[in-house]
Chains A and B, each alone.
Chain A
């Protein structure tokens, strides 16, 4: 199946710094990329949806200035957590889809565990 490569797999950063997470679709064109965060023992919560070449659409309650999403090409999307705080510590996962509507499979990255100290 198709592969989405997500890096880094884990990162520890200091409060106030920024962290960039990359997701690359290796063998398909991800026209849409979804970004999720997952707290321990909970489900995936959608943060934002990005379409290649356009601005991301953020879910209610997600600060767009704090979680910067860039989807400049069909194979790369990035999430930057700016001015990170300990409460931003979480598991972040991306998911790429080739064309909507989505009756086809969404391909997930391996996830990034972010710890802010």
Chain B
């Protein structure tokens, strides 16, 4: 059972555009992580958010944890072709559960 729903499922945009990916759940998590995965490789951690309402920035990426710690968003400003990949949110309880994933394709 996938507890974390991501939207959109697919996103195809041009370089320079902005985008937001959402991660929603009915469950409360002690923390939430965002990963990016390239084909044939394991996921790579981008950020961990712990406190409800927390906002973290990583260069052009902005992550927000919902006040109730049930949802999160990832915003990318001025997307680049190198941002292409599968973005996964993952919620921590006593185990790490991944969201349904958002596949991003950035065209030059």
Which residues of chain B are within 8 angstroms of A6 by Cβ–Cβ distance?
42
> Given that A41-B103, A43-B100 are contacting pairs, would A105 and B95 also be in contact in the complex, using a CB cutoff of 8 Å?
no
Assembly CA distance A100 to B100 (angstroms): 23
B61 to chain A, nearest CB (A): 17
* In the assembled complex, A103 has its CB within 8 A of some CB on chain B: yes
Whether B101 and A93, one on each chain, are in contact in the complex, defined by CB atoms closer than 8 angstroms, is: no
Query: In the complex, what residue of chain A is closest to B32 when comparing beta carbons?
Result: A103
Which positions in A face B, CB cutoff 8 Å?
Answer: 6, 34, 36, 41-46, 49, 60, 91, 93, 95, 97, 100-106, 108-111, 113
Q: How far is the CA of A97 from the CA of B1 in the complex (A)?
A: 22
Size bracket, chain B contacts: 20 to 34
Contact check, A101 vs B30: say whether CB atoms are below 8 A apart.
Answer: yes
Picked from B1, B33, B44, B94, the residue with its CB within 8 Å of the CB of A101 is B94
Residue on B with the closest CB to A100? Answer: B94
Q: Is B88 an interface residue (CB 8 A)?
A: yes
Interface residues of B in 60-108 (CB under 8 A from A): 86, 88, 90, 92-101, 103
The list of the 3 closest CB pairs from A to B, nearest first, reads A108-B42, A43-B101, A102-B92
List 9 A-B pairs, Cβ < 8 Å: A34-B95, A43-B100, A44-B88, A46-B98, A49-B94, A109-B42, A111-B41, A111-B42, A113-B40
Specify which of B43, B45, B96, B97 lies most central, judged by the most chain A CB atoms within 10 Å of its CB. Answer: B96
Q: Closest A-chain residue to B94, C-beta based? A: A100
Q: What residues of chain A lie closer than 8 Å to B103, measured between beta carbons?
A: 41
Closest to B44 in A: A108
Asked if B55 is at the interface of the complex by the 8 Å CB criterion, the answer is: no
Contact B31–A43 (Cβ < 8 Å): no
In the complex, which residues of chain B have a beta carbon less than 8 angstroms from the beta carbon of A109? 42
Q: Chain A nearest CB: distance from B81 CB in Å?
A: 20
Given contacts A102-B31, A110-B41, 20 further A-B contacts (CB under 8 A): A6-B42, A41-B103, A43-B100, A43-B101, A44-B88, A45-B2, A45-B98, A46-B95, A46-B97, A49-B94, A101-B94, A103-B50, A104-B48, A105-B33, A105-B45, A106-B33, A106-B90, A106-B96, A110-B42, A113-B40
